[in-house]
């Protein structure tokens, strides 16, 4: 990939990774410690969103967002976390947001899906523990 003004493109991936972590960590924290993954989030996922096995979806979302966000922040297991983020946000974008609220409310979820795929396909970029 060509460089612009001598800047390694890996720094662009680093910025995307930090942006993802900045979105995922607070969302995961709220799921676990404010709303309660096994109570409030499960109820929301089951009643409002109509997801099957809402408890499993709630726990998975909490783990992917908080744990995955922390791993993205430090650049560890980036490709696998990217794949999990892409899977979570595929469900969030197309089976929840778009279905219930339309395209305009699904944009963040679709962007996170794309960012997850980017991390899966390219790796972490610069300033990461992973070296691939």
Note whether residue 33 is domain-resident.
yes
Percent of the chain with pLDDT over 90: 58
Residue 12 belongs to a domain: no
Encoded tokens for 45: 């996922």
Check residues 56 and 90 and name the one with the higher pLDDT: 90
What SS3 state is found at 106? coil
- Asked if residue 58 belongs to a domain, the reply is yes
Residue 57 belongs to domain spanning:
21-122
Please give the tally of structural domains in the chain: 1
Domain membership flag for residue 4: no
36: left (phi over 0), alpha (psi -120 to 50) or beta: left
Domain-located, residue 110: yes
The answer to whether residue 71 sits within a structural domain is yes
Q: What is the pLDDT of residues 96-123, one digit of tens each?
A: 888 788 888 889 999 999 999 999 999 9
Whether residue 113 is contained in a domain is answered as: yes
Neighbour count for residue 85 (Cβ, 10 Å): 26
Tens of pLDDT, residue by residue over 22-50, are: 999 999 999 888 877 667 777 877 787 78
The answer to whether residue 129 sits within a structural domain is no
């Amino acid at each position: 990939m060509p460089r612009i003004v001598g800047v390694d493109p890996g720094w662009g991936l680093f910025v995307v990774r930090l942006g993802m972590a900045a979105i995922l960590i607070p969302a995961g924290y709220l799921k676990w410690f404010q709303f309660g993954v096994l109570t409030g989030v499960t109820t929301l996922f089951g009643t409002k969103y109509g997801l099957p096995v809402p408890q499993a979806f709630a726990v998975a979302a909490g783990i992917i967002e908080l744990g995955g966000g922390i791993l993205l922040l430090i650049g560890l297991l980036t490709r696998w976390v990217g794949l999990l983020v892409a899977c979570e946000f595929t469900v969030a974008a197309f089976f929840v947001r778009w279905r219930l609220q339309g395209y305009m409310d699904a944009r963040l979820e679709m962007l996170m899906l794309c960012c997850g795929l980017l991390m899966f396909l390219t790796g972490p970029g610069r300033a990461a523990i992973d070296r691939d």
